[in-house]
Amino acid sequence: MRIRIGFDIALTFPQPTPMLMMLNVHPSRRAALVIRDDLQVEPQVPLTGYIDGFGNQCTRVVAPPGLFRISTDAVIEDSGLPDPVMREAREVPIDALPSETLVFLLGSRYCETDTLSQMAWDHFGKIKPGWERVQAIVDYVHNHVEFGYPHARATRTAGEAHSERRGVCRDFAHLAITLCRAMNMPARYATGYLGDIGVPRDPAPMDFSAWFEVFLEGGWFAFDARHNQPRIGRVLMAYGRDAADVALTNTFGAHSLSKFEVWTDEIPQGVPLPTREIAA
C-alpha cells in the first residue's frame, strides 16, 4: 500500500534564530519513499543535513525574522500489515545484548528508572520474561494513564505520568519504556507518522505520534501503550532514549507557533499519486 505523508508548519521569529529539525523519515525507511520527503522552507534559506548519534536524519537552519514555513509532501510504500506480534520472543540476557542496545537500559531525561524500579519488579517480576512481560507492561500503562490532549505538558516525566495518571502519547511511551528498562529490557522512544488506517477515524486533528520499541530475541519490536493494538502504516521518523532526543524542532531563541498541520492518508489502489496544494 502507499501512504501520503507530510506536514505544513509555520513559526514566527522576532530575529534570526538557529534551529535543529528532525522532520524527515528515518533513513531506514528512505528506500520505501515513492516521492521523497525533501524539506521545503519559505523564505528559502540554506539547509544543512547531518545524521545524529542514533542514526536519525537532522537538519540545521537559521530561521529568518518573521513567518518561517517548513513543509513536505511525500508518498511512502508500506507493507499494509499491522505491527508484528511475536508472542514467543524471549528476553535477551544482559550479557548477550548487542553493545549498541545497552544505552537503552539506562535512565534518561524523562525515564527515571531509579524511582520506578521497585514498582516495576513488584508488578511484573513474576510474569514470564519476554513478549508476555512487555505486553503486561503495555496493558498496565494503557489502563493506568488517561489520554487527553489537554493533559499535554512538555516537562512531564514517566514518574509524574504514573502518579498523575494522565498524559498524551509521549507520556504513555515514557512510562512503558521506563518500566521495561527497569525489568532489564532495552527500550527506546520512537516518533513518526501513524494514520487512522484500519481503525475508526479519530476526529481530532492529525498529529505526529509517539510509541516505543523493545529489544527482544529477534530484534527491535514496536509497541504502543496508548492504542494497545497492532497498527497499520507506522512510519518511523526518529528514535532515541526519550523525547528529548527526538524533538521535531529545537529553536535557540524566542518564537511562536503559527501553523501546524500533519497528514497521513492511505492512497487507494489504482488512484494516481496526488499533488497537495499547501495553502498559504
Contacts of 185 (CB under 8 A, 6+ apart): 91, 105, 133, 134, 214, 215, 216
Q: Check if the beta carbon of residue 4 is closer than 8 Å to that of residue 195.
A: no
Mean pLDDT of the 141-157 span: 95
pLDDT in tens, 83-96: 999 999 999 999 99
Q: Of 155, 170, 208, 153, whose CA–CA distance to 23 is shortest?
A: 208
275: in domain: no
The CATH code of the domain that includes 159 is 3.10.620.30
Task: Tell me how long the chain is.
Answer: 280
Q: Which three cell numbers stand for residue 250?
A: 529545537
What domain count does the chain have?
2
pLDDT in tens, 167-203: 999 999 999 999 999 999 999 999 999 999 999 998 8
pLDDT of 2 over the 50 cut: yes
- Burial of residue 108 (CB within 10 Å: 0-12, 13-18, 19+) is buried
Which domain, by its residues, includes 212? 94-245
How far apart are alpha carbons 188 and 178 in whole angstroms?
Answer: 9
**Same domain for 133 and 16:** no
How far apart are alpha carbons 154 and 110 in whole angstroms?
Answer: 10
**Same domain for 113 and 45:** no
pLDDT in tens, 107-121: 999 999 999 999 999
pLDDT in tens, 217-239: 999 999 999 999 999 999 999 99
